[in-house]
């Protein structure tokens, strides 16, 4: 069991608005709080929908927001054991509030509706989703939970899948810790591609497929070596796959308990992951952990 949060830190912060997808995020956050033996802060942001409102309308909205927050916090109190539950009511943008809370949090958990491709394009043209904004701008790891309703507790949960792209110690640290806390195996995934210059040199496709594939395995082995030693009970599988990063990680996600990726562009022998973070959140159906350096 991990030690409790240092003084002054909020532990797990979860965004809650009473919706089905927020309930799923709360369910995940409660598990995280119990696994980590840390407090949970249930945060609800509210604001008047059309700018300024008269005092009576503001009081009514404030009262409704208090009820929503109470419901989420009470669920957390009733469904956890030995976890301190805190409430946070904020008037304003939920994006701004969750990013602000992330400064003193171990982890932020948010829900996502899971939009259609047309809806995703529309969201990107406007301001983007709360989940996408928080995952991009938070100052701590963020877990985006997709779908609606309570999370199914599978009899045989899937592995933790982590995308490895170079400069990944903070990402692997988070992924191995989650795998250890949940007693799950870990799959380290790296996307590689044929070097375009090799085609011009007249190399045969079979030769080309062997060289970068072998290099990817060696790079993955080097990346995870210290973490394997630190977490000997976590079974690790290396999975180098030829293809685009987004396609490879999306293909590795079905059946996973969680997909873990880095939030920022990281340079190194294994390339970059950060540029695919936002579209990845929209593309996969399992929870996605976005880990900031």
SS (H, E, C) 58-73: HHHHHHHHHHHHHHHH
Q: Are strands 160-163 and 186-192 parallel, antiparallel or unpaired?
A: parallel
Domain boundary among 121, 146, 171: 146
Q: Is 288 helix (H, G, I), strand (E, B) or coil?
A: strand
Yes or no: say if 34 and 7 are a contact pair by the CB < 8 Å rule. Answer: no
Whole-model pTM?
A: 0.83
pLDDT for residue 213: 61
Task: Tell me, yes or no, whether 114 and 176 share the same domain.
Answer: no
pLDDT at 45: 95
Low-confidence ranges of the chain (pLDDT < 70): 1-9, 50-51, 53, 113-128, 147-152, 194-213, 264-275
Residue 64 lies in a domain: yes
Residue 6 located in a structural domain: no
The pLDDT score that the predictor gives to residue 53 is 65
Around Cβ 131, how many Cβ atoms within 10 Å? 29
Q: What is the pLDDT of residue 233?
A: 97
Judgement on whether residues 222 and 139 belong to the same structural domain of the protein: no
Is 198 found in the same domain as 124? no
Whether residue 171 sits in one domain with residue 138: no
2 belongs to a structural domain = no
User: 116 with 22, same domain?
Assistant: yes
- Is 153 among the domain residues? no
Q: Give residue 149's pLDDT.
A: 52
Tell me if residue 290 falls in helix, strand or coil.
strand
Same structural domain for residues 222 and 194?
A: yes
Last residue of a domain, one of 119, 146, 173: 146
Q: Are residues 175 and 113 in the same domain?
A: no
Could you tell me if 190 and 264 lie in one domain?
yes
How many domains does the chain contain in total? Answer: 2
Q: What pLDDT score was predicted for residue 101?
A: 97
Whether 70 is covered by a domain: the verdict is yes
Considering the domain architecture, whether residues 16 and 142 belong to the same structural domain is answered as yes
Distance CA 207, CA 194 (A): 10
Among the candidates 80, 113, 146, a domain finishes at 146
Residue 19 maps to a domain: yes
Let me know if residue 151 belongs to a domain: no
- CATH number of residue 75's parent domain: 3.40.50.620
Output the pLDDT for position 118.
44
Are 33 and 119 in a shared domain? yes
Is residue 200 in a domain? Answer: yes
Rounded Cα distance, 256 and 68, in Å: 31
- Identify whether residues 164 and 243 lie together within a single domain: yes
**Residues spanned by the domain of 81:** 12-146
Looking at the fold, whether 88 and 174 belong to one and the same domain comes out as no
């Amino acid at each position: 069991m991990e030690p409790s949060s240092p003084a002054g830190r909020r532990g797990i912060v979860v965004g809650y608005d009473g919706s089905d997808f927020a309930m799923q995020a709360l369910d995940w956050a409660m598990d995280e709080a119990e696994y980590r033996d840390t407090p949970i802060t249930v945060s609800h942001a509210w604001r008047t929908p059309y700018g300024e409102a008269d005092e009576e309308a503001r009081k009514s909205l404030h009262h409704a927001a208090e009820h929503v927050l109470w419901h989420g916090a009470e669920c957390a109190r009733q469904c956890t054991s030995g976890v301190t539950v805190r409430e946070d009511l904020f008037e304003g943008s939920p994006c701004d509030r969750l990013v602000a809370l992330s400064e003193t949090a171990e982890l932020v958990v948010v829900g996502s509706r899971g939009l259609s491709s047309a809806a995703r394009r529309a969201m990107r043209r406007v301001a983007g989703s709360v989940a996408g904004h928080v995952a991009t701008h938070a100052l701590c790891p963020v877990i985006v939970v997709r779908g609606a309703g309570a999370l199914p507790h599978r009899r045989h949960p899937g592995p933790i899948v982590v995308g490895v792209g170079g400069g990944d110690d903070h990402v692997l640290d988070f992924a191995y810790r989650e795998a250890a806390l949940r007693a799950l195996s870990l799959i380290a995934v790296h996307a590689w591609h044929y070097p375009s210059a090799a085609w011009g040199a007249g190399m045969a496709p079979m030769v080309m497929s062997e060289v970068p594939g072998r290099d990817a395995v060696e790079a993955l082995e080097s990346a995870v070596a210290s973490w394997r030693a630190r977490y000997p009970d976590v079974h690790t599988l290396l999975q180098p796959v030829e293809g685009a990063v987004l396609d490879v990680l999306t293909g590795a996600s079905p059946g996973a308990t969680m997909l873990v990726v880095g939030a920022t562009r990281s340079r190194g022998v294994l390339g970059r992951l950060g540029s695919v973070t936002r579209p990845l959140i929209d593309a996969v159906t399992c929870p996605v952990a976005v880990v900031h350096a």
